[in-house]
């Protein structure tokens, strides 16, 4: 299934406030273009201070040296997930929603052979037998792993990504979080983002809490690293047990 219809390009910008940052970030972004090969959306480019002010007139001009413009893709994940489910159903899969795994089913040798699940709306419970059970539960990964092996050590470090929408601005924030089905942005997270934005804008521009048009939060199942102090420093790696 092609996901092209769920994607569109967007040009993020990297604000440059020190001259040494020009070659430093230029090299990194050009490497980004290079590894993309023929699939690069558009080539990145550098603009000087005057051009940056034309594109972003609300920027703080005192220390501004310029900006690097590069292109990335935005993804409609909700439509993508729904398309995957509908495609699977067309190919014979049985898909259910609002269903919770209560426990894993095991044979006499201790091998996982299915799951006992519960419809969280009606309360109905039933068994699902399977040759292979895939744990694709994101932030709830460790909950299922403990069902398979109560002695296993946790490997998931849930990270909350908070996003807000402002007239003409966009940014996100990363912080440790508890696992919940409906994560809600904290006021402190929203204020942190606003404070970061203020550092890039002219003193004549006031960004207030009332300017926030919407805010939402999501959880990332990052791989736990005991040597890292926070989720910001965790690598976005994958592991196979």
Work out the average pLDDT over 168-192.
Answer: 66
End-to-end CA distance of the chain: 28
Pair 228, 234: CB distance under 8 Å: yes
Q: What is the 3-state secondary structure (H, E, C) of 12-50?
A: CEEEECCCCHHHHHHHHHHHHHHHHHHHCCCCCEEEEHH
Work out the average pLDDT over 160-186.
Answer: 65
Q: Is 39 exposed, middle or buried (0-12, 13-18, 19+ CB in 10 A)?
A: exposed
Q: Is the full-model pTM beyond 0.75?
A: no
Higher confidence at residue 214 or residue 28?
28
pLDDT for 128 beyond 50: yes
pLDDT for 202 beyond 50: yes
pLDDT for 88 beyond 70: yes
pLDDT for 135 beyond 80: yes
Pair 218, 75: CB distance under 8 Å: no
The 10 Å CB-count burial string (b at 16+, else e) for 199-238 is ebebeeeebeeeebeebebbbbbbebeeeeeebeebeeee
Q: pLDDT confidence of 73, banded at 50, 70, 90?
A: confident
Q: What is the pLDDT of residue 233?
A: 55
């Amino acid at each position: 299934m092609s996901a092209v219809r769920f994607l569109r390009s967007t040009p993020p910008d990297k604000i440059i406030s020190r001259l040494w940052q020009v070659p430093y970030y230029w090299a990194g972004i050009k490497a980004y273009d290079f590894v993309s090969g023929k699939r690069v959306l558009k080539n990145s480019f550098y603009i000087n201070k005057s051009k940056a002010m034309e594109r972003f007139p609300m920027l703080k001009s005192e220390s501004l040296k310029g900006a690097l413009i590069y292109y990335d893709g935005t993804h409609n994940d909700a439509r993508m997930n729904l398309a995957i489910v509908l495609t699977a159903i067309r190919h014979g899969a049985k898909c259910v929603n609002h269903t919770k795994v209560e426990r894993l089913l095991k044979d006499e040798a201790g091998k996982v052979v299915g799951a006992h699940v519960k419809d969280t709306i009606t309360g109905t419970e039933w068994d699902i037998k399977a040759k292979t059970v895939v744990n694709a539960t994101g932030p709830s990964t460790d909950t299922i792993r403990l069902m398979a092996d109560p002695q296993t050590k946790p490997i998931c470090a849930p990270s909350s990504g908070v996003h807000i929408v402002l007239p003409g601005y966009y940014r996100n924030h990363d912080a440790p979080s508890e696992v919940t089905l409906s994560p809600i942005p904290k006021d402190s997270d929203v204020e942190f983002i606003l404070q970061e934005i203020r550092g890039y804008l002219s003193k004549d521009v006031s960004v207030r809490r009332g300017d926030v048009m919407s805010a939402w939060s999501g959880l990332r199942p990052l791989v736990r690293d005991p040597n890292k102090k926070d989720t910001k420093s965790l690598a976005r790696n994958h592991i196979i047990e």
